[in-house]
Amino acid sequence: RKEVEQDPGPFNVPEGATVAFNCTYSNSASQSFFWYRQDCRKEPKLLMSVYSSGNEDGRFTAQLNRASQYISLLIRDSKLSDSATYLCVVNMDNAGNMLTFGGGTRLMVKP
């Protein structure tokens, strides 16, 4: 079993739609969680951290469910520019020195 698992997609949605991705992680002791965005053939960039209480940044909402060991990303009012791969990232080691990446979920927003 992979330590961080994501549905690879692609998720094909029309502009304006709401779309949600989930990511499951294997280590119940994990403390830090992130969503990174990666455009085609580019480097990953931090989209948002995921806090225990959930957090929102404009059209993006991230949630953490420790009991079921998953995090989620909700995108409202999808834009064409949201088309990218979304990487779920979990800190698995106690020292905070290493991050484990999921394989990514590809989103394609259509006009």
Partner 1 sequence: NAGVTQTPKFQVLKTGQSMTLQCAQDMNHEYMSWYRQDPGMGLRLIHYSVGAGITDQGEVPNGYNVSRSTTEDFPLRLLSAAPSQTSVYFCASSYQRLSAYEQYFGPGTRLTVT
Measured from the CB atom, the residue of 78 and 86 that comes closer to partner 1 is 86
Q: What are the structure tokens assigned to 62, written together?
A: 């991230």
x/- map, 6-25, partner 1, by CB under 8 A:
--x-----------------
Min separation Cβ 53 and partner 1, Å:
17
Among 12, 31, 52, 65, binds partner 1 (CB under 8 A): 31
Contact assessment for residue 89 and residue 4, using Cβ atoms and an 8 Å cutoff? yes
d(CA 9, CA 30): 25
Q: How far is CA 70 from the centre of its chain?
A: 10
- Residue 77 DSSP label: S
Binding mask 34-53 for partner 1 (x = CB under 8 A): --------xxxxx-------
Q: What is the largest CA-CA distance in the chain?
A: 45
Q: Which is nearer to partner 1, 45 or 59 (CB)?
A: 45
Ranges within 76-95 binding partner 1 (CB under 8 A): 87, 91, 95
Q: How many CA atoms lie within 13 A of 55 on its CB side?
A: 10
Residues of this chain that bind partner 1 (CB under 8 A): 4, 8, 31-32, 42-46, 87, 91, 95-104
